[in-house]
Structure 1
Amino acid sequence: MFAVNAGMRSNYATLKAELIKHLAPVVVVQNDAKGGRFTLVTKDGQVSANPVSQTFELAKSIAHTPLGIFSVIASYLADKIPNLPNADRMDAHDLVLVAFNDDMSTAWIEPLQAYAATLTTARRNLASAGLPAALTTSCGNILDGGLAFINASIAAKHFDMASFEAFSGSVYPDIRTNMEHASQAQIAGVRDIMKTWRAKVGEEAWADLYCVVLSQWTTSVLNQNTIIIKDCMNAAKVATHLIDLPGLETPADPLFTALDNLARIVQDNIAAEMVFPKDTTVADALKGQQDLLSDEILNQIGSTTVTTPAAPTYNTVATPGVCPVRK
């Protein structure tokens, strides 16, 4: 009896392996520090590019300064939440888990000094980076603020959440400026490569385009590339052909991972209707992210509904450089 399922899995894997060879056209996006590695798969082969300008990576890199400092000092924070404006938004148990080192220790000084050296080098090279004036100013403010916090903390051999939040809050307007410039660069780069590939593939084939975006779980909802790509696809098929594929870490072979999962999705789409022709609800479960047993389990435990996050809504026309997602 167990062999029935084993046989099914073997046959299923064989079909999937062969189907991968026929998947086209497909755009696979591997999110990375450069704004995304894009690969177009067609029946004639593959082509890859990092289409986003360096402004994106530089703007984000400097904006990460507060998080870089936090990552050094976090484990040495006192495990008590002070009277801060956002105190009620912090989970006390989470803080205990993060602040696992002795808050009286000064072992954080050496790694913080090393990070300060990195910030100092970045500050020295900022003027020659060729960035827009507003972005150069905001980057300078962030780096200066970070170095001021580090120097004051080392001199006092002490820091706390209040002092860190005072620093991070002071550079927040500059971080927003960096976010604006990074977004503009990413939107322009992604739209340009998708336009180029659309012309290469042709309108008829592009209408059936699948896009698979690989991301980490923490960025899988409203992923930046997913938002931009949506408007570059056939609007009638976005719901089924634009696929966010969250994972834990970057897979060893991102392209194979994307195509392997897409092959599973495509063959399940057809299998669902043919295996369950008399029950469209179950067919939809096989075609989507729902487990086949979920409805039956809900019935048996006395619940027939599951709360799911609302789907994002998009502006049909977005001003260049502005996020198309309605707040």
Structure 2
Amino acid sequence: MATRRGFIGSASGISTAALLGYSASPSAADTPLTDTTSTGASAVTQQQAKDSIFAVNAGMRSNYATLKAELVKHLSPVIVVQNDAKGGRFTLVTANGQESVNPVAETFELAKSIAHVPLGCFSVIASYLADKIPNLPNADRIDPHDLLLVAFNDDRSTAWIEPLQAYAATLTAARKNLPAAGLPAALTTSCGNILDAALNFINASVQAKVFDMKSFEDFSGSVYPDIRVNMEHAAQAQIKGVQDTMKTWRAKVGEAAWADLYCVVLSQWTTSVLNQNTIIIKDCMNAAKVATHLIDLPGLETPKDPIFTALDNLARIVQDNIAAEMVFPKDTKVADALKGKEDLLSDEILIQLGGSAATTQSAPTYNTLSEGMCPVRK
């Protein structure tokens, strides 16, 4: 996607060759060529000829970036979702400005916090695991090489004891204060079960000065039903918070504008497929445009300016949608590639490598739930 997704900013005050990183110093390739245009003959080196061709693409990228920067100012209405530990920060962008909210109740974060306890324990002990897979029910699902990479410390070491005890102190404080948190009864019970089981695992491991994957999986497997209870409460809180906010914003922008709403969900790669907020939002949008207007934008980490990142990428998508049909009016397959996630050279590369040309897949349709499930829909 680098062929069309990256861009070079304005080259003002910088030579094209310097901007692109090409050396203009003489070389063996700089043999004089003859320019016999109507302006008369003049000596042109091979490198100068190449630089003039490189300048064509630099000019395109500069023009593309200028169009995108101006288009960003006209994107409306747009909802940008930043996935976070609180269930997501939502920002509504309209011609009148921006407003942001964290719509999900604290129950979401509290339930997930305790559900993450087994992962917290694992993160302390993982590097001290023996690199041999024991006889576990899921042994065939564990990649031996991946285990070797994770278990990089000596399994005979007891250096894990101190950090595990420190985590146990955190769990003990949470367990002591749990009744005062005001959680629903079922959630209080499940959280207590998870914390108690974790403390039992830690105490037994510290006392024996040893643990293994079997003992850890016995612990983590025993609390799975309680983790499911926490997941249920977290999901309920997130669904209600997001749906209520979408309903409020829909009334604010009006039906006509809402029909063309774009939603950009920023997420990490590991949660970019069936992202929780994407699932909820899809049924609150115009069903006819969900496939093209609900955009998951996965990244490696949270960008410094999430709103700009979302709008900048959305501007690329919107202008590519129009450019695709006008630049490639005679080849809809290539046009679809420009509009989607394919690189324009992908088909040709597959052909030359002896494979078959890829089939351009349309954007996924998320509206698979029955009508009327979202209170926002009329």
What is the TM-score with the length of structure 2 in the denominator? 0.82
* Aligned-residue offset at 1:297: 1.2
In the TM superposition, what is the alpha-carbon distance from 1:216 to its structure 2 partner? 0.3
Alignment map for 1:113-152 (pairs within 5 Å): 113-152=165-204
**Separation in 1, partners of 2:70, 2:127:** 49
1:266 and 2:312 matched: no
2:228 paired with 1:176: yes
Instruction: Check 1:230–1:313 CA distance in 2 against 1; reply closer, same or farther (3 A cut).
Output: closer
Separation in 2 of the partners of 1:100 and 1:318?
Answer: 52
Matched, 1:35 2:98: no
Partner of 1:324: none
- Post-superposition shift, 1:316? 1.8
Match of 1:104 in 2: 156
* Residue pairs, 1:274-293, within 5 angstroms: 274-293=326-345
Counterpart residue number, 2:68: 16
Instruction: Look up the SS of the partner of 2:288 in the other structure.
Output: helix
Distance 2:223 2:97 in 1: 46
SS in 2 for 1:142: helix
Code of the residue aligned with 1:131 in structure 2: it is L
Match of 2:369 in 1: 315
Partner residue, 2:299: 247
2:122 matches 1:79:
no
**For residues 319 and 69 of structure 1, do their structure 2 counterparts lie closer, same or farther at Cα, with a shift above 3 Å needed?**
farther
- The structure that has the greater radius of gyration is 2
User: In structure 2, what is the Cα distance between the partners aligned to 1:145 and 1:319?
Assistant: 37
Distance 1:305 1:159, change over 3 A: farther
Q: What is the identity percentage for the equivalent residue pairs of Structure 1 and Structure 2?
A: 82
- Report deviation, 1:304: 1.7
Partner of 2:285: 233
Aligned-pair CA distance for 1:129? 1.0
Query: Counterpart of 1:236 in 2: which secondary structure?
Result: coil
Deviation at 1:77, TM superposition (A): 0.1
Q: 1:50 offset after TM fit, Å? A: 0.2
Match of 1:67 in 2: 119
Structure 2: stretches of 5+ with no match in the other structure: 1-52
Are the equivalent residues in 1 in contact too, given 2:282–2:367 (CA < 8 A)?
no
Q: Does 1:88 align with 2:140?
A: yes
CA deviations on 1:100-156 (whole Å, 9 max, x unpaired) are 000000000111011001111111111111111000000000001111100100000
The 1:187–1:87 alpha-carbon spacing in structure 2 relative to 1, beyond 3 Å, is same
1:250-301, Cα deviation, whole Å (9 max, x unpaired): 1011111000000000000000011101110000000000110111111111
Cα 1:313/1:89, change in 2 over 3 Å? farther
Partner Cα distance (1:125, 1:318) in 2: 41
What is the SS of the residue equivalent to 2:289? Answer: helix
Query: CA shift at 1:315, angstroms?
Result: 2.1
Match of 2:240 among 185, 188, 191: 188
Shift of 1:319: 7.0
Q: 1:288, 1:319 → 2: CA distance? A: 29
